Amino acid sequence: MTLPDAQALTAQTLRDPRGAARTLLALRLNTSVLWPALALIAVLNAVLHGFTLLTLPSPQMLPGVLGSPLLFALFLAGGMVISTFLLTWIGQALGGKAQLDEILVLVVWVQMLRLALQAVVVLLYFVLPGLADLAAIVAGIFGLWIMINFMDEAQGFGSIGKSILVLVLATLGVGFGLSVFLLLLGATAMGLS
């Protein structure tokens, strides 16, 4: 994918999320490309997070995972992997047709856009902090709308309600999965494993 292709797909994602989902699904990317892309996104997010920790004032020390870029990368990668599987399985359980590689390409694309937007928000914090906060909130809401439409298109539900249900259940599952991960991480750090 060239830079103009990525720019066009970004514009399509913002204008017509369902059309963008169809475009992404039509690429038929293999998981051997998508899993490393997901890992790269986690690493780049950690680099951006580390930069943010160094350059922007924090009211207090961030606890655990948020205070360490490496742990943040592992936490984020774990969350993306768990969410990819859960979005696939829950969607299929509710009558959806999407396969793992199809959900993975959509998750990778949304995370790439999210990373780019986070970089813009970090830059905005240096110039207009209030606008940066507002941009982050609006982007989060719009990101949910994109993901709902992506799920509906990939799973073939024809129902925004089912797509919302898949996202809610997957979010609960990710929360549980990451809690277990943090528990194990804490037990390992204390020498209990």
Tokens of 94: 């509710």
pTM, whole model, 2 decimals?
Answer: 0.88
User: Over 70: is that where the pLDDT of 108 sits?
Assistant: yes
Average pLDDT score over residue span 119-138 = 90
pLDDT digits (tens, 9 = 90+) for 152-184: 999 999 999 999 999 999 999 998 887 887 777
Closest CA to 64 of 155, 186, 152, 167: 186
Distance CA 17, CA 13 (A): 4
Given a contact cutoff of 8 angstroms between Cβ atoms, the answer to whether 159 and 153 are in contact is no
Average pLDDT score over residue span 140-153 = 96
The predicted pLDDT at position 193 comes to 45
Distance CA 77, CA 143 (A): 18
User: Over 50: is that where the pLDDT of 141 sits?
Assistant: yes
pLDDT digits (tens, 9 = 90+) for 57-81: 665 655 555 667 788 888 899 899 9
Average pLDDT score over residue span 91-95 = 96
